[in-house]
A and B are shown apart, each in its own frame.
Chain A
Amino acid sequence: MTDAPESPITIAWRFATVLVAAILVLGLLNALPQFLGGEPLGVVRYARVEDAEARLGARLYRPAVLPAGWHWPPSRVRLAVGRPDWIEFVFDEQAEGRQPRGGGTDGDALVLCQALGAAPAGSQVAPALLQPGELLQADDISIDGRVARMQRLLLDGGAIVHELWWQEGAKRVMLRGRVPADDLPRLARALLGNR
């Protein structure tokens, strides 16, 4: 039995088919975890702040003071890869006699995001980390001589959150939470003292 010799086009076509199938299979396997309780593509989760610092080789902002009822360490530490990379700390609210709540982007948590590396003014936190919201109000305020922007946002689901953005040299830092607006600048001053 003799096979007819393959043409170069047939050889190339079959090779391309196998290559594309291999890429699709691996890509699918890489994407699946986000549908099974894992993180979205481009996001890495760490067990502790110290693990993130060790893996990234970077010293991260740690708040010296948290508003009453919120406790350290953060319940969630995540990295979103991009330009720049963003690190997210999510803090839980500890209410007496109740389980801590928070750990999400639903407005029930205090979230601190910081850019790793240079981030131009106006750059936003990666959507994979933080749910975007509708801007209701924005005001410029001063924190220790730095100009910061306080924003009030409406999230999907009706939650109202406050965000405080400021530039630390080339780095952008952001606080978000459903806390009184006065608490965010106070926390920011604590961060600046602990860098």
Chain B
Amino acid sequence: MGEIAVRQAILHGLVAAGFVEALLCAWRIRRARTRLGFWVLALAFPFLVLPSLLVLAPFRSTDRFAAGWALFASARWNAVRLAGIGVDTMVFGLLGLAGTLLFLRDVVPFVVAAVRGGREDDVPHAAPSPALTGLVDELASRMHAPVPATVVLHTDAPVLFVRGVARQALVVSDGVLARLTAGQLRAAVAHELAHVRLHDPLAGWALMTARLVMFWNPAVQLMARAIVQEMEHRADAAAAALTDARTFAGALRALASLSNPAETASHVSRRIELLAERLHHAQIAARVTLVLAGSPAPRFARTRLAVVGATLGVFVFFVV
């Protein structure tokens, strides 16, 4: 039963993720809030829908169902052998490995940093200026967001993020304060306060928990990353709406240009650093394009979501 559940969790995750991605492309939905809803729906399938199916419809795991009713039965591929190993077993083994690697790729740097003690307490603090705290208070009030504490780090490194779930804080460095214009700073702070208003730090912890529970599931790892990306885009849209799209785009570019590869760990090869830098700049460029282009609200968004959810529910019933 455990092996069946693991295989179906991967299968259902892949089917849900693939179906949602195809629909988002076909419908050309760019609005982050809508895309986020679809990705959360897809993520629900291996966590909520599959356990329900295993309990309420155990006959799905029988050979009769797989042979007579299933649209796709992965066990059929075990009759195809490569080097004496069934293709089904081989593929799921590789998928499990891929899922684990995707999980470790994001968790390991986090754990290493925590172990090495590169924490903000080790960096000298500076007192936030009245102008900065006033800016945070004003934007939080306009966004109907709780006012986080403001922490200023005395370093040139580009630091700007919001942390904490119960006691939230906006962390910013001297480097950012010195190099962003007033308008760009306003837009960048608005982005971070949007995360606070939308409870993104809490959502981030929930996603990491989900990733930990199904660390072997590559679909869950990829969907969680997609959700994080859409949360960023959603905060971008909120900041652009509150300030100005062009100013916010400028802030994104300015912050990206502040990142200096030479400051990364010395043991990382230069080629990897350049690749990471290119990827980072490509991501920033995509965000800038999205902010400047705008993203209209798609029609019948909730209806589409409901229809897709119902259709996927029926679909995965016949995938074993």
Contact = CB atoms under 8 A, between A and B. Distances in A.
Interface in A21-79: 21-23, 26-27, 29-30, 33, 36-39, 41-45, 55-56, 79
B64 A85 contact: yes
A18 B76 CA distance: 25
Interface string A2-22: 110110100100110111011
Given A3-B28, A6-B299, A26-B319, A19 B68 contact: no
A86 to B, nearest CB: 12
A82 interface: yes
A193 B293 CA distance: 81
A157 to B, nearest CB: 24
A18 B101 CA distance: 30
Interface string B280-320: 00000000000001101011100010011001000100010
Interface SS of B by simple majority: helix
A14 B27 contact: yes
A155 interface: no
Given A14-B27, A23-B71, A44-B66, A39 B79 contact: yes
A38 B79 contact: yes
Given A6-B27, A22-B19, A33 B77 contact: yes
A141 interface: no
B72 A37 contact: no
B68 A39 contact: no
B138 interface: no
Interface residues on A, range: 35 or more
B22 A18 contact: yes
A2 B81 contact: no
Interface string A162-193: 00000000000000000000000000000000
B289 to A, nearest CB: 10
Given A27-B72, A37-B81, A15 B67 contact: no
Given A11-B27, A19-B311, A26 B72 contact: yes
Contacts of B81: 37
Given A18-B19, A21-B22, A22-B315, A81 B80 contact: no
Q: Which A-B residue pairs are the 7 nearest by beta carbons? A: A38-B79, A81-B68, A26-B72, A14-B26, A81-B67, A30-B72, A36-B80
Interface of A: 1-3, 5-6, 8, 11, 14-15, 17-19, 21-23, 26-27, 29-30, 33, 36-39, 41-45, 55-56, 79-82, 85
Given A11-B27, A14-B26, A43-B67, 13 more contacts: A2-B294, A2-B296, A15-B23, A18-B23, A23-B71, A26-B72, A27-B71, A33-B77, A42-B68, A44-B66, A44-B67, A55-B63, A81-B64
